[in-house]
Structure 1
Amino acid sequence: MKILFNKPYGVVCQFSKHDKHETLKDFIPIPGVYPAGRLDTDSEGLIILTDDGLFQHQISDPKYKMQKTYWAQVEGAPKESDLDELRHGVDLGDFKTLPAEIKIIDQPKTLWERTPPIRERKTIPTTWLEIRISEGKNRQVRRMTGKIGYPTLRLIRFAIGAYTLVDLDLGMYKIIRE
């Protein structure tokens, strides 16, 4: 069984109780499933939960190269030349990322309001990026954009492989039986 879940901001990717935040258990009342990969509490978007250990491993292990697509709203207005470093892989100190596919996009039309809203400064523009990577290390996208001087203000995982957020409202899940 596979469950697609659109994780809201502030939700922790665990089923055990958390003192300060809602968890997956507050949204998904199905026993015996586990997240295949995680999203930070301050990130939003697609989480896949499954009871299939092999599928869970294929999503989380970079050797399978399952691509993940993120929408990142960054502070500032990067030029294509700024993004080239990410396209070639960037050294984050503890590891060098694999090359990312990255492009500047318009704000996604199907985007929900975030609660709380991001902080925006009137004198500094923001830009939306679509970033595709096959890794998924801790806070990787945020670290990548920060490394090139454009901190991520909002991060949404839109897709994992062929699975997407299309027709999946915030805080909702759907079961996929294949």
Structure 2
Amino acid sequence: MAKIILFNKPYGVLSQFTDTEGRPTLADYIHRKGFYAAGRLDFDSEGLLLLTDDGSLQHQISHPKQKLPKTYWVQVEGELDEEATGRLRRGVDLKDGRTAPARARLIAPPATLWPRVPPVRERKTVPTSWLELTIREGRNRQVRRMTAAVGFPTLRLIRASIGNWALGELGSGEQRIEQVFVAPAPRPTGRRQPRAPGRRR
């Protein structure tokens, strides 16, 4: 059995254990030895980050080929409309190519939402909206670039789930540990081919 830590990463914390610039890191929150992050979450993003003590599980979670769905709660500037969410569902053109179709829907502010430190700078004359967005890609700052491409800059970005793992009731900076069964790697099938006859040396 492998162990996995579900961590609600606060805003302004690096998804690594060391930093030469003295910024907050995982070491300020994760004190169990032998755990490593499975994937990453940007410095200015919040929410679910997974850490595990098992190398094969880390690979299964973080490798792009696995295409685990990742769901985000996104606060954007402006009144998000169905036209914009429809474009997100179909895919939008970014500098590094068109995104795959995504699941996107308008939501109310999440009931379990915690205050961000520092708070989001909102303009009194400009409304904001909340979006739930699920993607299976892992491009650099993809969600922020997607909402900007449809005309709604991201103000706050929270990852709510990765695959079957979700934040649940975790507050900012909180964590919980779970045990996970990791299936052994399949053994190669078939018999070995006999060696071609040759002269002994």
Equivalent position amino acid for 1:106 in 2: A
* Distance (Å, rounded) in 2 between the aligned partners of 1:96 and 1:33: 35
* 1:107-146 matched pairs, under 5 angstroms: 107-146=109-148
Change (3 A) 1:95 1:33: farther
Q: Secondary structure at the match of 2:98?
A: coil
* Distance (Å, rounded) in 2 between the aligned partners of 1:166 and 1:24: 20
Equivalent position amino acid for 2:110 in 1: P
* 1:41-80 matched pairs, under 5 angstroms: 41-80=43-82
Q: Secondary structure at the match of 2:131?
A: strand
Cα root mean square deviation, aligned: 1.2
Equivalent residue pairs, number: 178
Q: Identity of counterpart residues, as a percentage?
A: 57
TM-score (norm 1): 0.95
Name which of structure 1's ranges 151-160 and 53-62 shifts more when overlaid on structure 2. Answer: 53-62
* Distance (Å, rounded) in 2 between the aligned partners of 1:121 and 1:55: 43
Equivalent position amino acid for 1:31 in 2: K
Alpha-carbon distance, 1:79 to partner: 1.1
Query: Could you give the per-residue CA deviations for residues 11-65 of structure 1, whole angstroms, max 9, x where no partner exists?
Result: 0000113424210011001122111111111100000001222222222233322
Equivalent position amino acid for 1:65 in 2: K
Change (3 A) 1:73 1:18: farther
* Distance (Å, rounded) in 2 between the aligned partners of 1:95 and 1:36: 25
Q: What 5-or-longer segments of structure 2 have no aligned partner? A: 181-201
Equivalent position amino acid for 1:167 in 2: E
* Distance (Å, rounded) in 2 between the aligned partners of 1:37 and 1:64: 12
TM-score (norm 2): 0.85
For residue 103 of structure 1, what is the aligned residue in structure 2? 105
